[in-house]
Amino acid sequence: MQDHRPAPESLAMSDAIFPARPDRQSNLAGTVRKSGTATLTLGALGVVYGDIGTSPLYTIKEVFGPLAHIPRDAPNIIGAVSVILWALVLVVTLKYVLLILRADHNGEGGILALASLASRTARNRRLRGALLLIGVCGATLFYGDGVITPAISVVGAMEGLEVVAPSLGRYVVAASLVILVGLFMIQRYGTGKVGKTFGPVILLWFLVLGATGIAQIVREPMILAALNPLHAWQFLVARGWHLFAAMSAIVLALTGAEALYADLGHFGRRPIQYAWSAVVLPGLALNYMGQGALLLAQPEAVDNPFFRLFPKLLMIPALVLATLAAIIASQAVITGAYSMTKQAIQLGFLPRMAVRYTSVREAGQIYMPGVNFTLMIGVIIVVEMFGSSSALAGAYGIAVTLTMMITSLLAFFVLSRHWKLGPVPGAAITLFFLALDVLMVGGCILKLPDGGWLPLALGAALFTLMSTWRRGRALILENSPDQDLSLKAFVAELAGKSYPRVAGTAIYLVATPNRVPQSLASNLRHNKVLHQRNIVLHLVFVEEPWVGMSERATLQALGNGFWRVTLKFGFMNIPDVPKALQLCNKHQGLQIDEDAADVTYFLSRLRAVPTPGQGMAPWRERLFVTMSARAGNAAEYFCLPDSSVIQLSTRVPI
């Protein structure tokens, strides 16, 4: 993405000109950090750790399932549990909790934020673009994971019905679909009120995980040997080439680790770290050891070792709690998909889509109908296609582990250049984590025939859409008619003409600020009039999460009733154009009335026309045209009043 900077002669809106004032699009973390650390830690439990917290529902079951071919004897049970424990320590604690969480980009986390941070360290434009593209690849993989996570979490919880009463097994898929469809249907109402219960429910969930684990450990204390990393090493060495088959199941214990970083901006680093250290890691470790202890005493419990931890009297409450935890885990992925899509739109990788803000206080609470419907259909298809958590486990993991590998690659540039550790220490740290990533990815590759192809196919399809949109937009800007008309020369030429002036302000949105907007040229050609005040408005979405109000606007007077204004937004900001334009009032003779009736917004809609032999392959050009036709309403996206918008269309060959 190009770094659009204001012209030297322009006037930047600094704090000296405009005092800082509250911005409802400001960093959500700045709002929530006003709360106590305990409250934030409880909130982090509910939002951040739902996914990894439900992994005990199916991980041990799959480690000793028929695909892994691991005998259920004491050395293997202790060794497998030891690998899980130390994977949690090395990958989650060391890599994410202690290292990656420190790589915040203006307080924000996530693969796109990390890619943006890494790209800023690049010394040449090509490397910078490549790093951003790598981050986009990681983002596309998130969507593949986002379809499977709700499915495997809810199905894994509902399989407890088979333990409660074997005759209920035939209702697992139907019950799962009812819960999942209901979850997607309530998204339109927002998650603020429901979200307040997430933390306490997940806290109870982890307490139950720990308590049931302790009960089994007391009966079979031999499992405590799993704390010794030598048992993990011996287990892995003993597997030989079957090591990757074992890792394909063990990696299920790590799914959800990326959420720690993705939700950094919502809670801050400390609450996420405290929640992991004090609650999540102990609860997971105790439960995995408890399931291992159960298998030492009862190898036949491998059919569902998690629910076998509970006595029959508590089976139904355990099923209810597991279902609630699975719903919360699914909710976190769904809202994450909304945020990721909004960031991709801001960065220019997807067309505009409808965004509904479900809270007047927190800009991070959004609902995107198109994304919600697409995810719901995808989840329904996946549940019907696979039908069980064991079958879904075959499709789960490859997207997560590849995202982890991409995170490690991007972290090298942050470590070596942004943190100035140097290339050697940065490479040493990165290679250590890459070795772990390769081991996990290698295991998941074995699952490609069993469903692992699905998230990769979804990611590839989305990457095709995103890259096509990005390239198509670039071609449109290159070939648009206004590229040949200099704005300054146009304004100077108008001084010698006597066009009638009408009252009010005309605002022309443009993609290139130095050229005459096509809508302005068309309006003057057909209507033969100009407004008293004319603003050529350029919107810039930078590769940063947040841009504050004090840095939002840049103003330059062009004379003859014309001004050039640049509004800068981060990819997490809400592009509220009318509000941002109020920053320009009373400077260089410009006054924009707050009354919408006195302001007219002119939008240029450039309609792509596929042209053989130019731009992209014919099928990609047709795809771009289809995506353009389905793009969301620009006026709604930029918060423009419907009654004040005029849109003019121009056909552009690509």
| pLDDT tens for each residue of 183-200 | 888 888 765 555 567 889
Alpha-carbon dihedral of residues 14, 15, 21, 22, nearest 10 degrees?
A: 70
CB atoms closer than 10 angstroms to residue 586: 8
CA–CA gap between residue 268 and residue 28 (Å, rounded): 10
Q: Residues 594-609: pLDDT tens digits?
A: 666 788 998 877 777 8
Residues of the chain with pLDDT under 70: 1-36, 68, 190-196, 265-266, 357-365, 480-485, 543, 586-589, 593-596, 614
Q: Residues 14-70: pLDDT tens digits?
A: 222 222 333 333 344 444 444 467 877 887 888 788 889 999 999 999 898 877 678
CA–CA gap between residue 122 and residue 118 (Å, rounded): 7
CB atoms closer than 10 angstroms to residue 476: 21
Question: Using an 8 Å Cβ cutoff, are 613 and 518 in contact?
Answer: no
Q: What is the pLDDT, as a whole number, of residue 416? A: 87
Contacts of residue 11, Cβ cutoff 8 Å, sequence gap at least 6 = 17, 554, 555, 556, 587, 588
Burial profile 159-180: b = 16 or more Cβ within 10 angstroms, e = fewer? bbbbbbeeeeeeebbebbbebb
Question: Using an 8 Å Cβ cutoff, are 433 and 411 in contact?
Answer: yes
CA–CA gap between residue 56 and residue 280 (Å, rounded): 12
CA–CA gap between residue 418 and residue 384 (Å, rounded): 46
The two tokens of residue 364 are 């991070």
Which residue intervals of 398-499 are DSSP H helices? 398-413, 423-445, 453-479, 487-494
CA–CA gap between residue 269 and residue 99 (Å, rounded): 11
CA–CA gap between residue 355 and residue 358 (Å, rounded): 9
Q: Compute CA distances 304 → 59, 63, 156, whole Å.
A: 10, 12, 10
This prediction has a pTM of 0.76
